[in-house]
Amino acid sequence: MNKPVVVSEEMLTEPVIVADVAPAAKAAGPAYIVLAGISFSHFLNDTMQSLIASVYPILKDTYALDFAQIGMITLAFQFTASLLQPVVGHYTDKKAQPYSLAIGMASTFFGLLLLSAAQQYLVILVAAALVGLGSAVFHPESARIARLASGGRYGFAQSVFQLGGSFGTSMGPVLAALIVVPFGQGSIAWFSSIAFLAILILWRIGRWYAPQIKAKQTAAVQAHPDAPSSRRVAVALLVLVALLFSKQLYVSSLSSYYIFYLIDRFGVSTQAAQIYLFIFLAANAVGAFLGGPLGDRFGRKIVIWISILGALPFTLALPYAGLVGSAVLSIVIGLIISSTTSSIIVFAQELVPHRFGMISGVFFGVAFGIGGLGAAVLGELADRTSIEFVYQVCAYLPAIGLLAVFLPKLPRHTR
């Protein structure tokens, strides 16, 4: 099914139009069972990852951590994933690893066990880094499998894949409120059973994936006559990174500190604040699913424009809203701003299709890295000022969406 192309390094930014899904596969449509399996695995993976942020109040109270130290935990988790994902993607471009997903999930398994038993801050950082390592292995290759099973509906497949991850992220606060808060840090070990289930599913998907891998063949590199120049491709990639920066940093500010914001400003309980966080993250999941098909139908550039700039009025209003208003605005923001993720990733993949794994790794990695670095910086800012001030500053981040004007128009058949 997959027909990879080998090119020289100096041609890295040349936009190559390749049919990585065979015509017969396109006619047959998406492989729904495989898409469902990889999306469910993404759900399990991100459910476990989201537990880290969800247990921050427990860790903060138990070990007397400040906001900067909380941010460093996020950085340890996100930086590991950010650093390794492009490396994994680059390697799997050359040699696909169908069983690497199950092996990478084992890192998350041990990371959760270590986090449940950690008694020192340094051990907590190591446990978070192990979970990040599992994410680094999981995302690039699983994104490739989703595209391979897309039947040519790339935006739809990416949205299905993202949907699992987004709902997994939203489940973390709920599970923390129902299990971790009542039963304590040690209950995190119970979630290692989820990691074990994910290992079994990913091993089965690896068995499906292995026969699809064919020997690489050298092919001539020919750009479509209407494709953007290599310079425009490079500029477009930088713009997409900046757009992802604005989206992911804002989402990270809510994911990491929204609980503290609600507790400090409105005096709600930790469990109630986690439910409000779940509402925001669930809206993110719905928006992430809708964005891909909309990009397939109307064009990814239009979706990127609307989803980032469209959130700006609501992010500006959030710091001044009451409790109910904040909940409503968080839903609207989540629906709008998250719909851009699939379009940004698929747009980047179409700009550099001969480096699919590396590009997927870079963009997934940048998303994680920006979230981690941003969480650390915002934590330091919150210590020096206040949580309310952080959200007043972050409210302007969607304005970076104006950079979408520099994105090129891709040939129609590549979208």
Residues 6+ apart with CB under 8 A from 328: 321
CA distance 219 to 297: 31
Cα→Cα distances 209→35, 96, 131, 142, 147, Å? 12, 9, 24, 10, 12
Write down the pLDDT at residue 12: 37
Q: Considering the chain, what percentage of its residues have pLDDT values greater than 90?
A: 14
pLDDT of res. 17: 37
- Is the pLDDT score of 136 beyond 80? yes
Least confident of 2-6, 68-72, 78-82, 334-338: 2-6
Q: Is the pLDDT of residue 298 over 90?
A: no
Residue 2 has pLDDT above 80, yes or no: no
pLDDT for 27 equals 46
Amino acid found at 359: I
Token pair 């007397």 in the structure block, residue: 64
Question: Average pLDDT for residues 336-351, to the nearest whole number?
Answer: 85
The pLDDT value recorded for residue 271 is 82
Q: What's residue 322's pLDDT?
A: 92
Class of residue 12 by CB neighbours under 10 A (exposed 0-12, middle 13-18, buried 19+): middle
Q: What is the mean pLDDT of residues 134-139?
A: 85
Runs of H (alpha helix) within 64-186: 67-94, 100-117, 121-148, 154-175, 181-183
Q: Which DSSP category does 186 fall into? A: G
pLDDT band at residue 219 under the 50/70/90 scheme: very low
In terms of Cβ atoms closer than 10 Å to its own Cβ (0-12, 13-18, 19+), residue 133 is: buried
- Of the listed ranges 59-63, 353-357, 395-399, the least confidently predicted one is 353-357
Q: Tell me, what's the pLDDT at 225?
A: 52
Averaged pLDDT, 204-212: 85
The label of the residue with tokens 């996100």 reads 78
What's the pLDDT at 368?
63
Q: Look at the pTM and tell me if it is higher than 0.85.
A: no
- Please state, for a pLDDT cut of 70, what percent of the chain lies above it: 86
Given a contact cutoff of 8 angstroms between Cβ atoms, the answer to whether 256 and 308 are in contact is no
**Based on the number of CB atoms within 10 Å of its own CB, is 58 exposed (0-12), middle (13-18) or buried (19 or more)?**
middle
Residue 407, phi then psi, degrees to nearest 5 = -75, 135
* 270 contact partners, CB below 8 Å, separation of at least 6: 57, 177, 181, 259, 263
Q: How far is CA 387 from CA 26, 213, 382, in A?
A: 49, 49, 5
Residues 6+ apart with CB under 8 A from 414: 17, 224, 227, 350, 353
d(CA 21, CA 226): 21
Query: How far is it, in rounded angstroms, from Cα 142 to Cα 148?
Result: 10
Q: What is the mean pLDDT of residues 207-211?
A: 84
Query: pLDDT at position 26, please?
Result: 53
CA distance 73 to 80: 11
H or E element in which residue 5 lies: strand 5-6
Nearest to 53 by CA among 330, 361, 387, 281: 281
Q: Average pLDDT, stretch 291-304? A: 83
Report the C-alpha gap between 29 and 75 in whole angstroms.
40
Task: Tell me the Ramachandran region of residue 408: left when phi exceeds 0, alpha when psi lies from -120 to 50, beta otherwise.
Answer: beta
